[in-house]
Amino acid sequence: MSTEFFANVVAFGDIPGIGLWEVGHYRQHLNYNNFLATRTPPISIPVYPILNLVSLDKQKLLWWLEQHELWHEAVRPFANVTDTDLSYFDVENANSFYNWQELHNAEHTAIDAAFGLT
């Protein structure tokens, strides 16, 4: 199994790019769940509702960030990845968005490596 999360850098405000990012990102989270389910004993991680980001208003985006963080919190212990709080960024600030993206990409890279999904 390899990563499906190729478009992991998106320009601030690029709605079509975020849509492409969102699908690959969601599928990669599903890959984490599938990988963990094949362990002995199987590890069951909930599927969080993170496939609805593109046209969200600020409140819904903050909710998405919280749900996304919960999924990362569920996976981290099995990948031996240290905590990075991914539950917030200033949605109106490009620098905040890019900083979040950098932290998020680093964590996905670490999880992919730990699970052999590179």
Per-residue pLDDT of the chain (118 residues; tens, 9 = 90+): 444 555 578 888 888 888 888 888 999 999 999 999 999 999 999 999 998 766 667 888 888 899 999 999 999 999 999 878 888 888 788 999 999 999 999 999 999 999 998 7
Please tell me whether the peptide bond between 42 and the residue prior to it is cis, using omega within 30 degrees of 0: no
Interacting residues of 6 by C-beta distance below 8 A, sequence separation 6+? 24
pLDDT at 44: 96
pLDDT at 1: 43
